[in-house]
Homo-oligomer: A and B are copies of this chain.
Amino acid sequence: MKSCLDCIPCFFDQALRASRMATDDEQVQKRVLDELGTMLRHLSLGSTPPEIGRLIYRMVKETTGNPDPFRVLKRESTQHALALYPSLKKTIIESENSLLTAIRIAIAGNVIDLGVSGSFDLDAAVRDALMMDFAICDYAAFEKYLTESRQILYIGDNAGETVFDRLLIEQMNKPVTYVVREEPVINDATAEDAVQAGIDKIATIVSSGTDAPGTIPGTCSLEFRELLDSAEFVLAKGQGNYEGLSDDNRPLFFLLKAKCRLIANDLGVTVGDIVLKGIHT
């Protein structure tokens, strides 16, 4: 999915939020925005939002001297999610369709996204996702792929959301390779975050090799690209992975909550909707 002019004010919003996470110095925060202003004419809207996001968050880290501005918040998100784990596990086990409930819960976890907004209500998101209708629900195809595949490539998104992914992985009951970002970017999950969520106990954690807030195959490692090319069943969580992979030709399932108007438009849904969408499936 390409970027558009509407992404530009949002990039400044994101850069401001990230700079405030990185430093309390207002002059440095202003310098971050000035730097982005200077970068702007060199950014091509032919790129996907995570490709541009990658350059912006690199600049934020360089300008503020803080290599992981969202570190504390990521840890808090994971702890919050871990506290919910037992009751969510019970909800899944006791529900009529445990797999679909686990999918709903994994999507609810996608609200933990500090790129799109500065705050979220995780408990409300869980309640909503358990109750609301899917705007797109390619569940039959998902179930078929799950039955027929020997293993699953699961591309994670944010720290904390990882705990919700763990619940779905446990429910799918197949060998899973769980993909994280190589470097910290926004609150996206790295290997460290996935381990804190306990993913290492139930899946093999691999890095995509990127520091982009999404999966753009061209910025990923050769190892990851080979994994992706050979995967039978790929699940990708969240908007950044959708933006990077939605124009891809391979069969893929996206699990996300639409939080941005432009992504919602691209999917033909409304902001706030929950989506399980298969492409080329």
Chain A contacts to B: CB under 8 angstroms: 5-6, 8-10, 12-13, 16, 26, 29-30, 33-34, 36-41, 45
Contacts and interface: CB of A to CB of B under 8 A. Distances in A.
A96 to B, nearest CB: 42
A36 B11 CA distance: 14
Nearest to A30: B5
A41 B27 CA distance: 11
B12 A6 contact: no
A6, A33, A36 — which one has the most chain B CB atoms within 10 A of its CB? A33
A29 to B, nearest CB: 6
Contacts of A13: 9
A257 to B, nearest CB: 22
Contacts of A9: 9-10, 12-13, 16
Contact of A16 (B6, B26, B39, B45): B6
Given A5-B29, A37-B40, 8 more contacts: A9-B9, A9-B12, A9-B13, A12-B12, A30-B45, A36-B37, A37-B41, A38-B41
The 3 closest A-B pairs by CB, nearest first: A37-B40, A37-B37, A34-B41
A33 B5 contact: yes
Contacts of A34: 40-41
Contacts of A16: 5-6, 8-9
A40 B45 contact: no
Contacts of A8: 12, 16, 33
Nearest to A10: B9
A41 B32 CA distance: 10
22 contacts: A5-B16, A5-B26, A5-B29, A5-B33, A8-B16, A8-B33, A9-B9, A9-B10, A9-B12, A9-B16, A12-B12, A30-B45, A33-B40, A34-B40, A34-B41, A36-B37, A37-B38, A37-B39, A37-B41, A38-B38, A38-B40, A38-B41
